[in-house]
Amino acid sequence: MQINPFQIIHYAFDASLMSQVVCPPYDKLSDELIKACKGLHPHNFVSAIIGETLADHSYYPKAAETLRSWLKTGILEQESSPKLLVYRQAFECPISGKKLTRTGFFALLRLPERDRNDVLPHERTFAEHKADRLQAVSSGPGNPEAIFVLYSDPDQSVLSLLEYPADSVSFQDPQGPHQQPRSA
């Protein structure tokens, strides 16, 4: 398995607006949530990943154009050099009610050959959702959404590399979790 940094694309405006422009992942959206996200801010990221409703499958070119337009007009900006995006999320466990924090990172992942067990699927996915996401990625300038991957780090050797400065960006997700992204 190979992990590499990438040229991070992020919003170019004040971090105080972050809670208005973030949205849940594709598989957590409903028509009502799409409408609510779009009502929070004219540049809510939901516009870059989905149409007006979940049934609107004509949105791929429009979503891709939205990303390109936001990059061109300076709403989004791309880092000049490749980096990892370190990410901390604080949330309440829905089962125990315990407050938890998880730290991870965004990176490019080169998948190994299929017969290797370096990366294991963690859930059964529906063929139509896979086809939908493939079409979304194929239409745009890249993958606008992350894939969640867990990794074993019993010695916390990776975690020790992901330290957070006191001045990192911090915002509350409308869905509840407290978010802290930063590049490394």
97-120 average pLDDT score: 81
> Which 8-state DSSP code applies to residue 116?
S
Residue 33, classified by CB atoms within 10 Å of its CB into exposed (0-12), middle (13-18) or buried (19+), is middle
| Contacting residues for 54 by C-beta, under 8 A, at least 6 apart | 29, 30, 31, 34
| Contacting residues for 15 by C-beta, under 8 A, at least 6 apart | 169, 170, 171
Residues paired with residue 77 on neighbouring β-strands, in sequence order: 10
For residue 120, pLDDT beyond 80: no
**Mean pLDDT for all residues in the chain:** 80
For residue 129, pLDDT beyond 60: yes
Specify the 3-state DSSP secondary structure of 117: coil
For residue 166, pLDDT beyond 60: no
Question: Which one-letter amino acid corresponds to residue 7?
Answer: Q
Share of the chain above pLDDT 70, in %: 81
- pLDDT for position 145: 72
Share of the chain above pLDDT 90, in %: 18
Of 89, 88, 67, 91, give the one whose Cα is nearest residue 10: 67
**Cβ atoms of residues 25 and 89 within 8 Å:** no
Q: Look at the block and give the residue holding tokens 């007006």.
A: 52
- pLDDT for position 89: 83
For residue 102, pLDDT beyond 60: yes
- pLDDT for position 139: 76
pLDDT higher at 73 or 64 = 73
**Cβ atoms of residues 141 and 71 within 8 Å:** yes
89-107 average pLDDT score: 88
In angstroms, what CA-CA distances link 53 with 49, 56, 80?
11, 5, 35
pTM of the model: 0.75
Q: Given its phi and psi angles, is residue 176 left (phi above 0), alpha (psi -120 to 50 degrees) or beta?
A: left
For residue 22, pLDDT beyond 70: yes
